[in-house]
Structure 1
């Protein structure tokens, strides 16, 4: 589900799970395991996260949520937050190479990285959770606020629109654009630059400093109401209605 290749001192992590790297319990747990392991691995100075195939990640596998109901939601939401935090907390430089769609949870996963490079072309990025009918997990909300700032995060979340690469750059969802065939090389180069420009202990300490308030809020968090709201969305037909609309119009079944 995650493929790791070390290029020099840069670990390239590819999400490889189905056609669009949908986020389900298994992939989220694999992301968390991989990132925690790389954070402590000797010889790995920085990390690049990308997707195998045509998408970075098209979001949560909503079909699994509908089919699994309350029991699945209860195990999935902690796994989703664990994946987000493992990327966000990693003390080494992390660069996202956004090779295609990065929607909803996929967008948050990219936002958790220190630098985001998106391929030009037809991929889109955004956070349409509210259009699906599910609330933001607090971890995702904190990451979006940290990355975009509170005003831009609020605007982006309540708008719920997926953006093409140029619009994503203007909004701050990504930091730069790159031709698809040069994307991975550029991401590795940026990751290497971040790893060599500063002493590793200084970078780790400073990264923890600028995230300290976010970590403190998340460490004291309980999200019991969140699970109830996701379960309601899974069982009252709103997620199914979203799937019917998007599948009918050629959209992905994910995007949660």
Structure 2
């Protein structure tokens, strides 16, 4: 589900979960466990196997699982995103293909984002569901005011567009992506670890404070949207439209 390899102290975590690395409860639960397992690495690279980094939430599982599944899934999504965002060591995303919805959030949670192809964006509103607090604040931290258009327009951005708003830092050829991600991660990992972690917390403080302040705010309403019968109907229609496209 997540393959781990070591490159001279840089841990490469590769999502390997089906053809497009769709986010389901099992994969989201595995992400914090994988980060715990590489806690001693000086830096981390997150990438995907195959043609996608992650095509986002497994909407079929949401529809089939019903409200009970959703009540487990949404906290797992927030927990995985926050653990990646707050990981004290440097984390570099090697975005090897499509990174959509929750996949985009995972990439944005990393300190440096490199991309070799595909599209990236927040497509939740196109599927008829809103954002939990943690993913939204991760995106706000990554792209600032550009998050407004990303959320409301639900657009898929090409690599050049993603660079223009700061979501992606550099575009690379596919054959260069992982080696450059490992190099960049290793260079960041050369900083004194406790100093890097402190600086990272300083930079993230506004996002962390907004997350903590909203623990009893929007998320219950977000859950109501996700588990409603109207949402199930809309998601079925959305999935049907994707199959016909």
Name the TM tier (shorter chain): over 0.9
Aligned to 1:253: none
Matches within 5 A, 1:29-44: 29-38=29-38, 40-41=39-40, 44=41
Matches within 5 A, 1:8-157: 8-38=8-38, 40-41=39-40, 44-120=41-117, 123-149=118-144, 151-157=145-151
- Counterpart-to-counterpart distance in 1, 2:210 and 2:222: 16
Aligned to 2:210: 217
Aligned to 2:236: 240
- Counterpart-to-counterpart distance in 2, 1:167 and 1:118: 12
- Counterpart-to-counterpart distance in 2, 1:85 and 1:235: 25
Instruction: Give the TM-score normalised by structure 2.
Output: 0.95
Contact 2:13 2:47 in 1 (8 A): yes
Q: Which has the higher contact order (CA 8 A, sep 6+)?
A: 1
User: Which has the higher mean CA deviation after the structures are superposed, 240-249 or 59-68?
Assistant: 240-249
Contact 1:234 1:240 in 2 (8 A): no
Contact 2:63 2:232 in 1 (8 A): no
* Greater than 6 Å deviation, 4+ residue runs: none
- Counterpart-to-counterpart distance in 2, 1:234 and 1:63: 15
The runs of 5 or more residues in structure 2 that have no matched partner are none
**Number of matched residues?**
242
Matches within 5 A, 1:187-206: 187-196=181-190, 198-206=191-199
Instruction: Give the TM-score normalised by structure 1.
Output: 0.91
The runs of 5 or more residues in structure 1 that have no matched partner are 250-256
Deviations 1:195-254 (CA, angstroms, capped at 9, x unpaired): 11x2111001111111123223323413212111101267541111111111110xxxxx
- Cα distance 1:233–1:124, how it changes in 2: closer, same or farther (>3 A)? farther
- Counterpart-to-counterpart distance in 2, 1:233 and 1:247: 21
